[in-house]
Amino acid sequence: MNISRVRRPWRIAAAGLIAGAVLLSSGCGHGDKSPSWQGGADQAQGDGTGTDDASPSPSPTLSTVAVVSPAADATGVTAITEIKYTSEDPENTSVTVTDASGDEVKGTLDKDDKVWRPEKALAYGTKYTVTVNGTASEGKGGTASSTFTTMAKPSKIVRVTSFLGDGQKVGVGMPLIIKFSRAIPASYRDDVERRMTVTATPAQEGSWGWISPTEVHYRPKVFWKANSKVFYKVRLAGVPLGSGYYGKSDLTVDLNIARSFVMTVSNKTKQMTVKQDGKVIKTLPVSLGKASTPSSSGTMVVMEKMKHTVFDTTDTDPVNGYKTPIDFAQRITWSGQFIHAAPWSEGKQGRVNVSHGCVNVSEAMGAWLFSRTMMGDPITVSGTEEKLKQGNGWTDFNVSYSEWKKLSYLK
């Protein structure tokens, strides 16, 4: 989808960080707006022949560094502001930013674009000093400094939360889920994505996709590689998010991907095939949804596990609803489809569909599966009368990767 946007001066240019230092522009390095010239015209001395055999006077040199933005003595500056500077010799130019106490602020320097970016949001209501130093080399030197003051702490904030936490272990089909306390305007979503970075070990291609204005998921191109390490970071503290709202804080999550455990169900054969790390470890009979309440065909993941529960549909269907104790229930859709033990249908499993849309297995196989699965393990059902609706569960892998990438605002 193509979204037109107004470019904003505070926009962060990339999702990854670029190491470096800070550069500033002010004028001539002497606090004066006029050029500072060095050297002068030395009058040549005659050689006694009566001719003016003067040597050319040396070319004047101009200090070549300056702070472009924020403007000198600017106030109300956003906490994630970029420092822009000029330099004719950026490779030999350094930038430092210090706070009111004189402590240096950590940041990254892009020498190609001549931009310094803070590692994290600056403190609110604080005065900062920027100093750009150009090493004297072939006349390309000079020093420039400037000060600015950040905006007051905003009263309108957007909280960001992660469904997953540090140290968790999840299945290979688990998406990374980020939620916002307020809808993010479409014109700001590309900026948000650039500030959300995912690092997988080993490296794996992937993309963010917007599920709604308040929720964004990340999935790899294919299922996560077994036993991967995944680290993701969301840097939204101080970031403008529209209508006077700003991101409240940053967050990081460090998690683990477990072994590969993939379930495949065929309506044609009424069998489930279970593979662990690519090898078939079990084939078991199932009973799917009958014609009036078909199971969904598509790729889902285990979202919730309950060893013992009660299915109660009497609230939504007082006439035909039921209330039944269930063992080894594993939710795979929001609409109420589960993998679960169904001892009452064991004689039908592998032969005919009799469920209300769930994947029925025997009591013994229900216990066997329950002891081995975890949140994020994928299950793909095929050949039923109904296709899985996107969003009915964590359906991120139910579409091709090319379709998934269309949900991103980074083009």
* 217 in catalytic set: no
Distance CA 128, CA 75 (A): 10
Q: Please name every residue paired with 219 in a beta bridge, in sequence order, or none if there are none.
A: 207
Place of tokens 């033990």: 341
Q: What single DSSP character describes residue 48?
A: S
Q: What single DSSP character describes residue 379?
A: E
* 358 in catalytic set: yes
CA-angle at 304, arms to 300 and 308, nearest 5°: 125
Catalytic residue among 28, 217, 356, 358: 358
Number of residues assigned to the chain = 411
The answer to whether the beta carbons of residues 212 and 30 sit under 8 Å apart is no
Residue type, 318: P
88: nearest Cα among 131, 130, 129, 135 = 135
Catalytic residue among 28, 217, 340, 356: 340
Strands (E), 70-187: 74-77, 83-86, 93-98, 107-110, 115-118, 127-134, 142-150, 157-158, 160-162, 169-170, 176-180
Distance CA 27, CA 61 (A): 13
Tell me how crowded residue 169 is: count the other CB atoms within 10 A of its CB: 14
Distance CA 227, CA 229 (A): 7
Q: What single DSSP character describes residue 393?
A: S
The SS3 call for residue 365 is helix
Q: Please name every residue paired with 115 in a beta bridge, in sequence order, or none if there are none.
A: 84, 110
Return the active site residues: 340, 358
